[in-house]
Chains A and B, each alone.
Chain A
Amino acid sequence: MRPAKPKVSRRDFFKAGTIIVGGIAVASAFTPYDAVLIAAEKPKKGKWYGIGIDINKCIGCGKCASACKLENNVPKAPFYFRSWVEQYTIKNDGTIIVESPNGGIDGFKQSVPTNEIFKSFFVPKMCNHCAKSPCVQVCPVGATFETPEGIVLVDENYCIGCRYCVQACPYGCRYIHPDKGTVDKCTLCIHRLVKGLQPACFEICPTEARIFGDLNDPESKLNYFLKNHTCMVIKPHLNTGSKLFYNALSSEVR
């Protein structure tokens, strides 16, 4: 004997079907499925600061690193940097050597004989002012934050010094200030920005390898730079929304 069919008439079936399909259609009209992925959302209005660094232009003078320490009263000892320069040397046999003696402040000495070098270049490093900052995410008290203009700042009067953000920063851009006991990092020289000046490291760069600007302004120098160069961020797989874009970034750089 066949099992009794559930009593669903054709009419009921169409009725229910129409409601479901129509419902989905109507709902999707209100919230269309957006397949376009945006790497990092930015505010529609106001400034949204970003940084460009042209590795081809950097001569490794380390002036940015020293200017940063002088401008921001960063402790002089070589364990505290808001901005530093690394030299990458790839030897003919494929070995990668990375150096940053005193953050590059005292200049670089070429440690590998020229004939053994496959290629060599300098990479200035600083806070990436990520739009999806891992450091901001982990701060337990809200002592570090992204300003509406896209600058990641530290509230040193509120920071408890738990050092969780230091662990969370993939770029090693934070340190604990030895005298204050709170975390310290690049402020993009916000105290200069409000006076209409450039951040110290951008001001000082002798070859204009550093470009600073507003990502929301289509006419800005930074957008010109990004349009005309193949730019890349460091550790893109971590999806930090980094706003520090390098031209000519080699895959060795991490």
Chain B
Amino acid sequence: MPQHLKRLIGVFAVFIILFLILHYLLTPSSFGELGHYRAKAIPENAFKELHYAGSEQCSKCHEDIRKDKAIGFHAKLKCEVCHGPGLKHALYAGQFKAGQLPDSLLLYKPAERKDCAICHQFNAARLKIQFDTINTSMIHQINAIEHNPFDKITKVEFKCIECHNPHQP
């Protein structure tokens, strides 16, 4: 074989060996254990911060409200649907006295008409709800603009919760 071919093959060999070394060094450790991916990516995805606590956590302290709710239309509604994610609250609020919670631990208290309207505003798509036999309730729909909008004398806007107890509407 002529000299120049040998050199050329040598260059290619060096290149391929270099590639193989890099391939060995750069392949992540858990790659290919379960499939064509890093198996470690599963635990990495699985250990992230939680925000929603689940309603079982709520009734640990707020048993009274759970009882209140249990006999009303909102019995099946989870607390965090209206009050927002509450894991931090559930974990740390117990350390503080009632009324002294720092803002970061306070949960949202929906009081405005728009908060209720998000579910109860009339919408044609909400008409045909046929709950199965276990769930006989229908969702109540109102026109949030026309439904008792304000006090006829003082002209102050009514809030839904002035007439309806949200936990027992």
Contact = CB atoms under 8 A, between A and B. Distances in A.
Q: Which range holds the interface residue count of chain B?
A: 35 or more
B41 interface: yes
Main SS class of interface, B: loop
B136 to A, nearest CB: 13
Given A107-B118, A155-B41, A71 B123 contact: no
B84 A194 contact: no
Interface string B130-146: 11000100010000000
Given A200-B51, A207-B139, A120 B46 contact: no
A208 B55 CA distance: 14
A153 B42 contact: yes
Contacts of B118: 61-63, 106-107
B85 A56 contact: no
A109 B129 CA distance: 18
Contacts of B131: 57, 207
29 contacts: A57-B131, A60-B123, A60-B126, A61-B81, A61-B119, A62-B118, A70-B51, A71-B50, A71-B85, A88-B125, A109-B121, A112-B124, A119-B128, A121-B125, A142-B37, A143-B37, A144-B37, A147-B34, A148-B34, A155-B45, A157-B38, A157-B41, A157-B44, A190-B42, A203-B78, A203-B80, A206-B81, A207-B129, A208-B76
Interface of A: 56-57, 59-63, 67, 70-73, 87-89, 106-110, 112, 114, 117, 119-122, 142-148, 153-158, 187, 190-195, 197-198, 200, 203-204, 206-208
Interface of B: 28, 31, 34-38, 41-42, 44-52, 54, 76-78, 80-81, 84-85, 114, 117-119, 121-131, 135, 139
